[in-house]
Amino acid sequence: MQLNMTKPDTYPLGIRALVLTADKFEDTELIVPYFRLLDAGARVDIAAPTMDRIGGEHGYSVVPDLTIDDVDPDEYDLLVVPGGFPDGAPATVRRIEKAQRIAQSFFEGDKPVASICHGPWLLASAGVIHGRRLTSYWHDGVPEDVKAAGGLWEDSEVVVDGNLVTSRWPPDLPAFTREMMALVEASLKK
């Protein structure tokens, strides 16, 4: 099923969110935060390696708004990194140096970052989680990579550590989006 990602003309929340992904993303981990942010009045852009249509694990597809190479992280207030097949979007995104620099920029600016399932692979590759508490999917080597990067991995529905919120998998999405929105609201008060 192709999603019609028509965007509104105004964004009352006044923030811009960036989703970094690629082909073979986990459908709900992209779609649920995307629409939750739109519903709150945020502008949400999806960035992928190319402008070609990308597909999810369960048949949804989207056309990116821009390429990862074209992202200026200074234009965004929130970074969302969904998961996907272990050999799909998360593995692709974590190998892109520009994606790593984008993640580094968000951490350097203490801007909110929300990552779920295999998404924390990017954060491990970017070297931004040393000493940080987080969670992820519990298989496919994700916890091991998080720990190797100095992250303090725990098996919890949602973990918030400063500007970072992480969750394990799709059933955690209610807690994940709740805490993601709490980080966004807190950042608006700064």
Residues recognised as catalytic: 118
How crowded is the C-beta side of 90, counted as CA atoms within 13 Å?
Answer: 30
